[in-house]
Structure 1
Amino acid sequence: MNVSASASQISRNDLTRNNLSISEVPSDKLSEIELTRNKCSMSQASFNDLPININSQAFSSLISSSGFINKLVVNDNKNNLMNGHFFHNELFSGLSIHGGDVVESSDAISSTQLPASLSLNILFHGKVNFCLGNKAYELNAGHAKSTKNSVAATCALSVLATSDLLSRKMTTGQAVKKVNLFVKRAWLEKRCTDVQSKVLLKKLFSNHTALYQWQDNVTFTSLAQKLLDLPTESSLQIDLLKEQMALTLLNELLAILPDKIDQPQPPLTDNKNLWLNKERHQLKKKANIERYIEQELENVITLPAIAKHFALSVSSLQRYFKQTYKLTITEYIRQQRLDKAKIAITIKELSISEAGYQAGYNHVSNFTSAFKKQFGITPANLLKLHQKITQQ
């Protein structure tokens, strides 16, 4: 309760009243802000909906808070990633939108493991270089032709039929103005009941990592510009407007898809544009190691066994783990086991001794000590707290 209150005060009052940027907020408070952002209503979740300097820590936390594995590599040791107006909203409907009018202030690569999904980009200005799976693409707003009465934008729909990697390149000095609508495949298919729509989605998701591109002067640009023009201060009415506009964008997209999905955009073929092989490999290795450890948590896990599984020496594995996670392998495994123990106690109703044994502790006292160090509360007090809430 105290954490939520203090973080909420920092994220809204301090940033607004004192005109602070996120980069000026102490690093120990950033995690509190992100924690509160996840637990509060959508209006509070929009604390980043401000004209600010966006630093690397806040950017990574934002993506990770959406449940995605992410790696950010900044090549020039700068803290700020971009300057300008930026917003990101996880909507009640299950869609998410983000966008802004920014100038990139660092050379960086952001790599994210995404679920099967559709991602609609409406690009008004600048260019965006990215890799989707094993294909490299470039979007360029310079190809869009504006008229006297309307502003043009380059629209692009990317398709992931299954989970895959998206890597986005940022370049110092690059100005980008865009809006993005993201929707998971499972979300679409759950709501798809008529035969015609099912046929459309089946055809659409038959082309993994495809990109479809077109120019637009009215429908998509108008809605995207309205999203960009909404007041930065969040409220129920503004949040509902964003929800409505996002759903309208999706509806308009589905209406034109039959005419757009026969000719996917060819990927870049020049080797100089495939700048993400190393980052892609590193992120996949990270995901594979996490998956392996999660599967083996209930067994005895040794460093030599993990190293052998991934064809690494023990020293290389330890060095890689420390660089990637800022933890030793032993510390990481202990954290994962304690996380599972917390779930076992509060949700699966295992006894404290049983949960401790499953986490690898033969003595309850040792388990209690490690648990309190990790979560700031003993297992018994955590259980009492949750039981008290459920009995109210």
Structure 2
Amino acid sequence: MNTRLSKVELSRKIKDAGYEDAFIEAKDIASKELITGKVYFKKLPSGIDVHCVNMTEHTEGYSNSQIDACISINVLLAGKVSFALEHQRYDIQAQSSPVLFINIINSQQIFTRFFTQQQQVKKVNLSITKQWLLTRCGSMANRLHIEKIFASAQSVFQWPCTEKQLTLAAELYQKSLDETLNFQWELEQLALQFFCDSFTLLSDNLDRDAIPPKEPDINNSPLPVSQFDFEAKIESLLFESLSLKQIADKLGASVSTLQRYFKSHHQLTLKEYIRNQILEHARRRLIFDNQSVGEVAYHSGYNHVSNFSSAFKKYFSMTPIEMQNQYRNLE
């Protein structure tokens, strides 16, 4: 069954995956559907992040998130993806057949993913942090090899997808979306096999140019100017009990400027935006930190649990207890 995701709902999924500073900008802010389809994020017990999508993008826009040094391995099964690493934009397209592309993120960077109206995308992604790789090196020579990869002058590599890689990617996609899967190790085994095969290809290319990669399409169109700093800075001030004037002073803007910005970009007043972000944090505390409703209400700045529960239900259409039970039933 396809899922319909609004800007807020997609942002929630991305933040649940660990990218807590994620920001989404949509051209059509009135649209209640940013994407439709299947979107899956999972951090496996081994530490590998798996991300699978089969979706249609319904409006122009982009998402920003800060990512740590990592290797991101992708099989684009269908469609086109546009993204930027810091200030360099890339376009990858599966025209007649699937393609494999690998991104080397050599330091903490801003990753921008662009949405295109009516663009269909089917993709499998694995991300492995640099630290994950270094802790699994058996010798200094292995560590130096990892450092050499991350020192590469090229950030994005692209190859045609082999039959083996395509088979692994297809299996990984199916098992990732399989809600009846009993054993996570089946998914981990596939993910590790897929990673090892792709990592060998990358290593061989850097060592001997065994299979020369295709040059990715570099898009030189200007990147959008984002007010990402407003959201990021407010995120750090959510729990300081500041007045709107004090928040505005810390952001270096007037209250009226902030009110216009948040009304334009989020269709919310500044006060409503702050309240909603506090409730989003509360949701994650309930689900991932397994805190009691009373604890979460206190951390969220509510003096009475009943007031917190009422605000929570109004925003999420379920009570905090119902939210916790819903996720506990998935375990």
Q: Which residue of 2 aligns with 1:52?
A: 2
Q: Tell whether the 8 Å contact from 1:160 to 1:208 is kept in structure 2 after alignment.
A: no
Q: Which residue of 2 aligns with 1:66?
A: 17
Q: Does 1:373 align with 2:307?
A: yes
Mapping for residues 1-392 of structure 1, pairs under 5 Å: 51-56=1-6, 57-68=8-19, 69-76=21-28, 77-142=30-95, 152-207=97-152, 210-230=155-175, 232-237=177-182, 239-261=184-206, 265=215, 268=218, 270=220, 273-274=221-222, 276-278=223-225, 281-291=226-236, 293=237, 297=240, 306-320=247-261, 326=268, 328=270, 332=274, 368-369=303-304, 373-374=307-308
The SS at the match of 2:25 is: strand
Partner Cα separation in structure 1 for residue 306 and residue 131 of structure 2 = 38
| Cα shift readout 1:243-279 (whole Å, capped 9, x = no counterpart) | 1111111222222222334788566253xx33x422x
Deviation, structure 1 residue 202: 1.3
The SS at the match of 1:125 is: strand
Q: Tell whether the 8 Å contact from 1:131 to 1:137 is kept in structure 2 after alignment.
A: yes
Do the aligned partners of residues 216 and 267 (structure 1) sit closer, same or farther apart at CA in structure 2, a change above 3 Å counting? closer
Do the aligned partners of residues 84 and 304 (structure 1) sit closer, same or farther apart at CA in structure 2, a change above 3 Å counting? closer
Q: Which amino acid aligns with 2:120?
A: A
Deviation, structure 1 residue 236: 4.3
Partner Cα separation in structure 1 for residue 259 and residue 115 of structure 2 = 30
The SS at the match of 1:182 is: strand
| Cα shift readout 1:270-307 (whole Å, capped 9, x = no counterpart) | 3xx33x422xx32244224434x37x94xx85655554
Q: Which amino acid aligns with 1:215?
A: P
Partner Cα separation in structure 2 for residue 64 and residue 208 of structure 1 = 30
- Listed as ranges, the gaps of 5+ residues in structure 1 are 1-50, 145-151, 348-355, 361-366, 377-392
Q: Which amino acid aligns with 1:131?
A: A
198-207 or 72-81: bigger deviation: 72-81
RMSD (CA atoms)? 4.0
Do the aligned partners of residues 114 and 372 (structure 1) sit closer, same or farther apart at CA in structure 2, a change above 3 Å counting? farther
Which of 1 and 2 has higher RCO (CA within 8 Å, sep 6+)?
2
Deviation, structure 1 residue 110: 2.5
Q: Tell whether the 8 Å contact from 1:161 to 1:208 is kept in structure 2 after alignment.
A: no
Q: Tell whether the 8 Å contact from 1:135 to 1:209 is kept in structure 2 after alignment.
A: no
Partner Cα separation in structure 1 for residue 58 and residue 194 of structure 2 = 30
Q: Which amino acid aligns with 1:106?
A: T
Deviation, structure 1 residue 136: 0.3
Deviation, structure 1 residue 189: 2.7
- Listed as ranges, the gaps of 5+ residues in structure 2 are 290-297, 311-331
Partner Cα separation in structure 2 for residue 184 and residue 320 of structure 1 = 35
Larger radius of gyration: 1
Q: Percent identity?
A: 26
